[in-house]
Structure formats: C-alpha cells, structure tokens
Amino acid sequence: MFNYLVQRIGTIVPTLFFVSILIFGLQQLLPGDPALIMAGEDRDENVIRYLREKFHLDEPLPMRYLYWLGGVLQGDLGESLRIQQPVTDLILQKLPVTLQLAAMAMVIALIIGITAGIVSAVLKDTAWDYAANIIALWGLSTPNFWLGIMLILFFSVWLGWLPASGYVSPFEDLKANLASMIMPAFVLGNAIAAVLMRHTRSAMLQVLNADYVRTARAKGLVERVVILKHALRNALIPIITLGALEFGTLLSGAVLTEQVFTIPGFGKLIVDAVFNRDYAVVQGVVLFTATAYITLNLLADLAYFLVNPRLRG
C-alpha cells in the first residue's frame, strides 16, 4: 500500500507539468494581441510597446513559459492585464465564493441524486423508477445557463422571492447570501444529481443482491431497515468518493452558472479572462484548480483504500 501511495504521489508532478504546458500553450496561442486589447480604443503605440515589454510579449514562447513558470514556483502567478491586480489576490478573493457555491450544489446533488438512486433501485422497473430517472436526468439534459435564466425569470422577476443576481458575503448578511446562492447552487447541483443517481442506483442494486443483505432479510428484519442500514452504508462509499471527483464537473458547470447569475467566482473570472486575453489569470486559475482537483483525486483514492479492507495489502 505504501508503494501504491508513493507511486500515486509521484505522478502528480509530471501531471501538473503537462497541465502547465497545456494551459500556457492554449492561452498564448490564442489569436489576438493582448497588448492591442489592453491599449484600448486609442491604440497609442507607446502604450502598446510598453505593454509588450512589460509582459514579455515579444519574446519567444519557450522564454515566456520559463518566465511564468519561474514566477509560479516562487508563488507569483502574475498579474491581471486588465485590472492590474495580482492573480493570487484574485484567486483568494473568489475562492470562498466558488467553494460555497460548489458545496451547496454538492449538498443539493447528494439529496436529489441519492434519493432518486435509492428509489430507483428499490422500486426498480416501476413508475417510480422511471420518474426518479427522469427527474435526475432532467438536470443533465437542460443547458444550465438556460435553466438559470428561466429560474431568474420565475423567482426574481415574476415572484420577487429571490435576488436576480449578485453576491453578498455570508459574513455580511447570511440570509441574503443564501438567497443569492440557492438558485445557482440548484442549477449546478442538478447536473451532478444525475451522475450521483446513476451510481447510487447501480451500487444499491449490486449490494441489494449481496449475500449479507439476503442474510439480513432471512433474519426477518423489516425490509426498510434492511435496505437503509446495510445496503446504503456500503453503497455510500463509492458515492462519496465520486462526489469528490465531481468537483471538476462542478467547476465546469460553474463557468456559465456564475456568468448568468453574476456570481463573482472562478468560473466567471476565467471566461472573462479568456475573452479579454488576460493570460495570467486563466493560467493561474486553471493551474490552481487542476492542483486542487488532482489532490482531491489522491485523497479520494486514499480514503477508498483505507475504507475498503479487501483492497488493502
């Protein structure tokens, strides 16, 4: 097991290296000249020249990569071309926002997904099975930006119950914060719910037919207790680890959800940065989230290993 651990950790560095090359290359090779965009409408040649120098835009690609990498290894992710703030500052500002959104979305996804999965597995092939399927699949099938706009129209404009957009820090006003996050969290969580439902269902089905469950049934326990106690406990492990892995999907979904609801998190930051050719921001944020994702993966693997005695040794 120790060997396995060492092996796994050993893969992190090369993976991150490739991530850095991938995202750096994708950004720098984008058509369009950031100095031109930065110089604004007036296109002063002095400004363009100054910006090119400041951000090493005229140097060959490998040199620029090394400048950037050097900075990264010292903890400096560069500066946003657009508002001239350090990328690390921006990340620290927006991390709590996206984290809260992701956490709330995960909770909603777990509630919907696990419930639907249980219902679908226990009441297999009945109308409840299909209904649960459709509800969970609905989230995967609707474009999240679309769902977001419809929800805003319904709950903000027509009913006036919830704010249409914006973000309030939970430390400032918890109620307003929850009110502004509930719709985007729902939109995000919806999509993941389907994935969780599927896995819950299959895990439940497997476990429901297992020997020890049949033994419990034979012992005469009430069916419900049997299901919930034994099956769920064992089915939960892969589901939770899957939840951790879905972090990547959450971030992907957050991109458009934050755009529609104007939540100042990572997703919105990245999209705007791509269109503004704000290289440092995209590179820095993607590197950061990739590192987080890989770490989470590792932790999930570890947890899985530790919890499942059959795989140890």
Partner 1 sequence: MKLKSVTRSLGLAFAMAAGLASASQAQTLRIGLAEDPDVLDPTLARTFVGRIVFAGLCDKLFDIDEKLNIVPQLATGHEWGSDNKSLTLKLRQGVTFHDGETFDAEAVKFNIERHKTMAGSNRRTELTQVTSIDVVDPYTVKLNLSAPFSPLLSFLTDRSGMMVSPKAAKEAGERFGSKPVCSGPFKFVERIAQDRIVLEKHPGYWNAKDIHFERIVYLPIVDATVRLANLKSGQLDFIERMAASDVPGLRSDNRFKLAKITEIGYQGITINIGKSDLAKGNPLGKDVKVREAFELSLDRQGIVQVVMEGEAQPGNQWVAPDNSFYAKNVPIPKRDVNKAKQLLKEAGVTNPSFTLMTPTTSDAQKIAQVVQAMAKEAGFDVKIQSTEFASSLALADKGQFEAYVLAWSGRPDPDGNVQQFYTCKAPNNYAGYCTEEMDKLITESRTELDPKKRVAIYEKIAALAAKEKPVVYLYHRHWLWAHTTKLSGLRAVPDGMVRVQGLKFN
Partner 2 sequence: MTAIPAAPAAVPEELSPGQRALRRLIRRKGAMVGLVLVIAFVAMAILAPWIAPYDPLATSWTAIRKAPSDMYLLGTDELGRDVLSRVIWGARASLLAGVVSVCISLAIGVPIGMAAGYLGRWPDALISRITDAMLACPFLILAIAFAAFLGPSLTNAMIAIGVTATPIFIRLTRAQVLSVKVEDYVEAARAVGNSHLRIAFRHILPNIVAPLLVQATLAIAAAVIAEASLSFLGLGQQPPAPSWGSMLNTAKNYIDHAPWMAIWPGLSIFLLVLSFNLLGDGLRDALDPRHR
Chain contacts with partner 1 (rule: CB under 8 A):
30-34, 36-47, 50-51, 54, 80, 82-85, 90, 93, 149, 152-153, 156-157, 160, 163-167, 259-262, 264, 268-269, 272, 275-277
Task: In angstroms, give the least distance from the CB of 275 to partner 1.
Answer: 6
Per-residue b/e over 10-29, b at no fewer than 16 CB within 10 Å? eeeeeeeeebbeebbeebbe
Residue 216, token pair as written in the block: 């419990």
Beta bridge partners of 79: 86
154: partner contacted, choices partner 1, partner 2, none (Cβ within 5-8 A by kind): none
State which of residues 110, 216, 255, 263 lies at the interface with partner 2 (CB under 8 A). Answer: 255
Q: Confirm if 150 and 227 have CB atoms less than 8 A apart.
A: no
Q: Confirm if 91 and 108 have CB atoms less than 8 A apart.
A: no
Task: In angstroms, give the least distance from the CB of 149 to partner 2.
Answer: 5
Stretch of 37-45, 71-79, 102-110, 269-277 contacting partner 2, by CB under 8 A: 269-277
Task: In angstroms, give the least distance from the CB of 39 to partner 2.
Answer: 20
Residue 253, token pair as written in the block: 């979904």
Residues within window 14-43 making contact with partner 2, judged by CB under 8 A:
14-19, 22-23, 26-27, 29-31
Burial of 70 (0-12, 13-18, 19+ CB in 10 A): exposed
Binding mask 96-135 for partner 2 (x = CB under 8 A): ----------------------------------x--xx-
Q: What angle do CA 238, 248, 103 make, to 5 degrees?
A: 75
Pairwise CA distance, residues 223 & 274, whole Å: 54
Stretch of 71-79, 163-171, 174-182, 267-275 contacting partner 2, by CB under 8 A: 267-275
By CB under 8 A, how many residues form the interface with partner 2? 57
93: partner contacted, choices partner 2, partner 1, none (Cβ within 5-8 A by kind): partner 1
Whole-angstrom CA distances from 109 to 14, 190, 227, 242 are 33, 6, 21, 12
Task: In angstroms, give the least distance from the CB of 100 to partner 1.
Answer: 14
Task: In angstroms, give the least distance from the CB of 11 to partner 1.
Answer: 34
Closest to partner 2 by CB, 57 or 274: 274
Within 8 A by CB and 6+ apart from 101, the residues are 181, 184, 185, 188, 254, 257, 258, 263, 265
Binding mask 229-248 for partner 2 (x = CB under 8 A): ---------x---------x
State which of residues 115, 249, 262, 302 lies at the interface with partner 2 (CB under 8 A). Answer: 249
Within 8 A by CB and 6+ apart from 196, the residues are 109, 110, 112, 113, 114, 117, 136, 239, 242, 243, 246
Using CB under 8 A as the binding rule, whether residue 210 contacts partner 2 is answered as yes
Nearest partner of 268 among 256, 252, 251, judged by Cα: 256
Closest to partner 1 by CB, 230 or 277: 277
Q: Confirm if 87 and 27 have CB atoms less than 8 A apart.
A: no
- Rule CB under 8 A: which residues touch partner 2? 11, 14-19, 22-23, 26-27, 29-31, 130, 133-134, 137-138, 140-146, 149, 153, 157, 194, 198, 202, 205-207, 209-210, 238, 248-249, 251-253, 255-256, 270-271, 274-275, 282, 286, 289-291, 293-294, 310
